[in-house]
Structure 1
């Protein structure tokens, strides 16, 4: 896995003035948690309903939130709030990877999955590429993000050529592994063989938290169980199976 190039702290967009504020100037994080996707069952088939709009925290509507703060204490608070926002947004949208905004700027500088996240159109403020990368580097130090290895993942050829595609762990591989293991125990699946596709898309796991999980993230989680002697993966790359112990 390649490490993204190191970046120095930079200003946001050229049009955004540098504004210094004290840590207390940032409003406290909103106590309202992210909404979750609901599902409606019809004629025996679960149909996913569109999630309600994401509720952004109050600081997202505060202009200095998009301006890199020069004071170290305030900057750390700013990074913490951005990290919490990225995780909440990804959980709400069930995003497992996100793309960094382009350094080129302009109206289309953010990929579709993060345009709303990094660009507050009402304020006319946008988090620049270098600052967004610094947020994800902060999350990586906390174990909540990781750059996608070059050549891997959906859209990797276009998205990670410059290290711009990142895993966002609103649940870490270890946490997903624990949920798979709990499901195995609760449903008496020890000794049963599943394909990896069946685990994320099969009827047996419908309703499980990991149903619909990104296949590569699923494999990261299953490798945790393999290392603990709780599972064995076998078969070819495109038709792998797993047996739980």
Structure 2
């Protein structure tokens, strides 16, 4: 079988390496392992951005019928990523600050940074500015579930908190604690 690209049902273009059977196995050669892991990281982050997926779990490699089937499995060559290899890939992603273990103190679930927290901070501030929300207190719900779809729709609260923290350090936002939840106020640059 020739290594070819493949378009998934969701419209994502899988690279040709995805049709190579060894790509799905944790390789014993350190150089090959590092190369394949880097390819997996790029593939996972690109797919997550394409589908707006924020979390990856080791269980996604163990079960069928989840959002990650198109990437973690290749039915055409009868291969799938083994959970232990996915856990390794996720660990490298965390080391490279391309993901964070979520919840903390475990290694089987990560929040993906297909946009780095710094990029989310800029997106958040641009959104607040363009929608006229400067100097207005907004709940986290107002940001993650706005009446009109935005780039921030469905962003995990943990990632939103990181982005707000970055904006707070540059005096472009203030975290507000309230009895019924958390909020944020944005300031101009």
Shorter-chain TM-score above 0.5: yes
Contact kept, 8 Å, 2:55 with 2:110, in 1: the verdict is: yes
Question: What residue number does 1:223 align with?
Answer: 165
Q: Give 1:88 shift.
A: 1.2
Distance (Å, rounded) in 2 between the aligned partners of 1:116 and 1:76: 22
Unaligned runs of 5+ in 2: none
Q: Give 1:125 shift.
A: 1.2
**Matched ranges for 1:21-170 at <5 A:** 52-101=10-59, 109-110=62-63, 112-149=66-103, 163-170=107-114
Distance (Å, rounded) in 1 between the aligned partners of 2:159 and 2:143: 12
- How well do the aligned residues superpose, as a CA RMSD in angstroms? 2.8
Secondary structure of the residue that 1:131 maps to in structure 2?
Answer: helix
Return closer, same or farther for 1:164/1:238 CA change in 2, 3 Å cut-off.
Answer: farther
Contact kept, 8 Å, 2:57 with 2:109, in 1: the verdict is: yes
Secondary structure of the residue that 2:164 maps to in structure 1?
Answer: helix
| Greater helix share, structure number | 2
Higher RCO (CA 8 Å, separation ≥ 6 residues): 1
Unaligned runs of 5+ in 1: 1-26, 36-50, 103-107, 151-159
Distance (Å, rounded) in 2 between the aligned partners of 1:187 and 1:236: 23
Question: What residue number does 1:190 align with?
Answer: 134
Give the alignment's TM-score, normalised by structure 1. 0.65
Contact kept, 8 Å, 1:90 with 1:96, in 2: the verdict is: yes
Number of equivalences: 184
State which structure, 1 or 2, has the greater radius of gyration over its C-alpha atoms: 1
